Chain A
Amino acid sequence: MASIDIAAIHKSYGIHPVLHGIDLEIKDGEFVVLVGPSGCGKSTLLRMIAGLEAVTDGEIRIDGKRVNDLAPKDRDIAMVFQSYALYPHMSVAKNMSYSLRLRKTAKEKIASVVANAATKLGLDPLMERRPKALSGGQRQRVAMGRAIVREPKAFLFDEPLSNLDARLREQMRAEIKKLHQDLGATSIYVTHDQIEAMTLADRIVAMHGGVIQQVGSPLELYDNPANLFVAGFIGSPGMNFFEGRYMATGDTANFALTGGVVLPLSGVANLADGSRATLGIRPEHVVLGAEGPDVLKATVDLVEPTGFGIIVHLKLGPVAFKAFTLDRRFLGMHGEVDVKLPVKNLHFFNEAGRKV
């Protein structure tokens, strides 16, 4: 087990910069998820920690020791690949013991460690099979088994669940979390799936365009996104955004949406009068069938039942947005509906996209 420090890491491919100065400290035993859309540099960062990509500038330290120029094999980390990367010509047992055999571990030790891992992962009956004869979920388990037999300093996961179907993904997600609870190993997990990030992480690192956008616990990112990118990326269905102009006169404030609708606000925000801003609200915070003074008339565009709840597509003038409700009364809804955007749930972002 180990801490991992990433200091001012830059990465360029030729003249194309991919990472622009990443700073991150990962504590011993922590489960950190790097999340972001494809091309944001999260996998590159992970591969740099693994030693599979050279560091252009900056420093990576594992347990305080600089590893920039250390070969992957000398970093003592394990990695689970999206493609599983199981050795096709070896049995499950051989796959799992490969790293130990390379290290010339005693045969008896290998046998017992591999057997332990196999039991933990429910692989006992499959040990003599080749990867070809395994299902996706089983392959995934073997890949994890291969990682845990080594008792490495840290586990790296590169989108390990992307190739599984939805149900299996859910199941394996829980297994990974359970495994982390059992082993308490430092883990870095890369995904583009914000649900995986939310459910697994001690801390989420949201990345975009080669820059860290926000670091925090899942609920911090959910409740208090630092900027428009994080607000839009975390949460499903995603946060609604309204562009407009903030108007304040004394103690009262309004938000004039592009398109003419004016939202009365109950308090003042930290914005200059007349400045352009974006207002965000999560679909589940939009109150449908509301009553009272601040009610707005919205038109129902589309109703999507998900079984668990209902996603209602609405229009406020020309501006489209979504509401999420568990109340099945709204299933057959059409025409106009009274909605309310409670001020306590509103997020304001200035012109630069930062939360204010």
Chain B
Amino acid sequence: MTGKRILSVLAHRLAILAYVVFALFPLYWLLKVSVTPNKLLYSEGIKMWPSRTSFEHFDFVLKHSEFPTFFKNSLIVSGSTAVIVTVLASLAGYAMSRFNFRGKYWIITLMLLTQMFPLVMLVAPIFKILSPLGLTNSLTGLVIVYTAFNVPFATFLMQSFFDGIPKDLEEAAMIDGATQFVAFRQIILPLTLPGIAATLGFVFTAAWSELLFSLMLISGNDSATFPVGLLSFVSKFSVDFGQMMAAGVMALIPACLFFLLIQRYLVQGLTAGAVKG
């Protein structure tokens, strides 16, 4: 019996390990290539770790490429998008969760509808709209587009978090002397922090890794975000893998930091409502 038990635990752990290895291997490879000197990159064949490591790619990317600009642009675009979307989605999600108003059903249907189109279909019309407004080749334009695309889903996400907070709480606050808005700000919002963190994280990563729109709407290097910037390592005749991977590793840093910051809330957020508090 215990032998069988140990075996099943072992199989379970092995399965998890296999999954983790599968999921993390590309990241490992990213790191490995980024520290492999150019000389060894093609000469050593496929090895798990190069015989000599160097940070020459990092050095080049930081000092001689436009990567710092891309990085800064990405940070501005993703950060603003995440904050704007979360604020809008919090307010909209609260309204969806708590108020009954005319046309609510249609607004929800419309929001759902926006999620049904492949983005590629929308690139041309959006370009056509933004171009006369001078919003192509601008970070503001990107923030607007990302915000528009993320608000519906984020609203649904926030609505489900608000739905999980008993109505009694704000009613109690209102009887205690708060207006509905004060009750929202002082009672409901603090309790939705996990939800807000989850939404922030979701939108930030979505904007951080978005390629299609930034590729189509941005032409110069000045306003390019880093996914577009990564393509600049691909030239007509060769791909500079080492530098590309070094840039990739650095691009991971803010996303990792961001998740490290919010992970405490995120775990709560993702499991919220799973069990009765």
On A, residues with C-beta under 8 Å from B are 50-52, 71-73, 77-79, 81-83, 85-89, 98-99, 102-103, 132, 146, 150
Residues of A close to B171: CB separation below 8 A? 50, 52, 72, 79, 81, 85
A102 touches B182 (CB 8 A): yes
B172 & A103 in contact (Cβ 8 Å cutoff): no
Contact with A along B257-277 (1 / 0, CB 8 A): 000000000000000000001
Q: Are B173 and A79 in touch, CB under 8 angstroms?
A: no
Q: In the complex, what's the smallest C-beta–C-beta distance from A114 to chain B, in angstroms?
A: 13
Contact A78 B182 (CB under 8 A): no
21 contacts between A and B (CB under 8 A): A50-B171, A51-B175, A52-B171, A52-B175, A71-B179, A72-B174, A73-B175, A73-B177, A73-B178, A73-B179, A78-B175, A79-B171, A81-B172, A83-B166, A87-B169, A87-B187, A102-B177, A102-B182, A146-B172, A146-B176, A150-B176
| Chain A to chain B: the 6 pairs with minimum beta-carbon distance, closest first | A99-B176, A85-B168, A85-B172, A102-B177, A72-B174, A73-B177
**CB-defined contacts of A150 to chain B, threshold 8 Å:** 176
A15 to chain B, nearest CB (A): 15
Instruction: Count chain B residues whose beta carbon lies closer than 8 angstroms to a beta carbon of A.
Output: 17
Report if B76 contacts A (CB, 8 A). no
> At the interface, yes or no: B191 with Cβ under 8 Å from chain A?
yes
Q: What total of A-B pairs shows CB separation below 8 Å?
A: 58
Q: Which among A82, A88, A98 is the interface contact of B173 at CB below 8 angstroms?
A: A98
| Contact assessment for B172 and A79 in the assembled complex, using a CB-CB cutoff below 8 Å | yes
Using CB atoms, name the residue of chain B closest to A98. B176
| Residues of the A chain whose Cβ atoms lie less than 8 Å from the Cβ of B166 | 83, 85
Contacts A89-B190, A89-B191, A102-B182; A83 near B175 (Cβ below 8 A)? no
Give chain B residues whose Cβ lies under 8 Å from the Cβ of A98. Answer: 173, 176
CB-CB nearest in chain B for A99: B176
B175-A87 in contact (CB<8A): no
Q: A81-B171, A82-B168, A98-B173 are in contact. List 5 more A-B contacts (CB 8 A).
A: A50-B171, A83-B166, A85-B172, A102-B182, A132-B277
| Contact assessment for B177 and A103 in the assembled complex, using a CB-CB cutoff below 8 Å | yes
Assembly CA distance A221 to B178 (angstroms): 39
Chain B residue with Cβ nearest A73: B177
Using A83-B168, A85-B166, A85-B168 as known contacts, say yes or no to A77 and B176 having CB atoms under 8 A apart.
Answer: no
Fill in one digit per residue for B171-199: 1 if any A CB lies within 8 Å of its CB, else 0. Answer: 11111111100100001001100000000
Known: A87-B187, A89-B190, A89-B191. A71 touches B174 (CB 8 A): yes
Q: B residues within 8 A CB of A88?
A: 169, 191, 277
Residues on B lying within 8 angstroms of A by beta carbon are 166, 168-169, 171-179, 182, 187, 190-191, 277
Could you tell me if B173 and A87 are in contact, using CB atoms closer than 8 angstroms? yes
Give the distance in Å from the alpha carbon of A105 to the alpha carbon of B129 in the complex.
54
Interchain CA distance A98-B178 in the complex, whole Å: 9
Q: A83-B168, A87-B169 are in contact. Are A77 and B178 (CB under 8 A)?
A: no
Check B175–A72 contact: CB distance below 8 A.
yes
Instruction: State which of A50, A82, A89 has its C-beta within 8 Å of the C-beta of B175.
Output: A50
Residues of A within 8 A of B173 (CB): 87, 98
A89 to B182, CA, bound (A): 15
List chain B residues, Cβ under 8 A from A89: 190-191
The answer to whether B174 and A52 touch across the interface, beta carbons within 8 angstroms, is yes
Please name all residues of chain B whose beta carbon is closer than 8 Å to the beta carbon of A50 when the two chains form the complex.
171, 175
**Are the C-beta atoms of A85 and B177 separated by less than 8 Å?**
no
With a 10 A CB-CB cut-off, give which of A77, A102, A150 has the most chain B CB atoms: A102
A13 to B159 Cα, complex, angstroms: 24
For B169, what are the chain A residues with a Cβ–Cβ distance below 8 Å? 85, 87-88
Which residues of B are found within 8 Å of A87, using beta-carbon distances?
169, 172-173, 187
Q: How far is the CA of A85 from the CA of B175 in the complex (A)?
A: 11
Residue of B nearest to A104 (CB): B177
- Chain A residue numbers with a CB within 8 Å of B168 are 81-83, 85
Central interface residue in A52, A73, A81, A146, by most chain B CB within 10 Å? A73
Q: A98 to B175: give the CA distance in the assembly, Å.
A: 11
What residue of chain A has the Cβ atom nearest to residue B171's Cβ? A52
Q: How far is the CA of A82 from the CA of B166 in the complex (A)?
A: 12
Distance (Å) between the CB of B37 and the closest chain A CB? 53
Tell me the nearest residue of chain B to A87, going by C-beta.
B187
Q: What A residues does B175 contact at CB under 8 A?
A: 50-52, 72-73, 77-79
A79 to B192, CA, bound (A): 24
Interchain CA distance A87-B172 in the complex, whole Å:
9
In the complex the two chains form, what is the Cα distance from A87 to B176 in whole Å? 12
The CA of A146 and the CA of B173, in the complex, are separated in Å by: 11
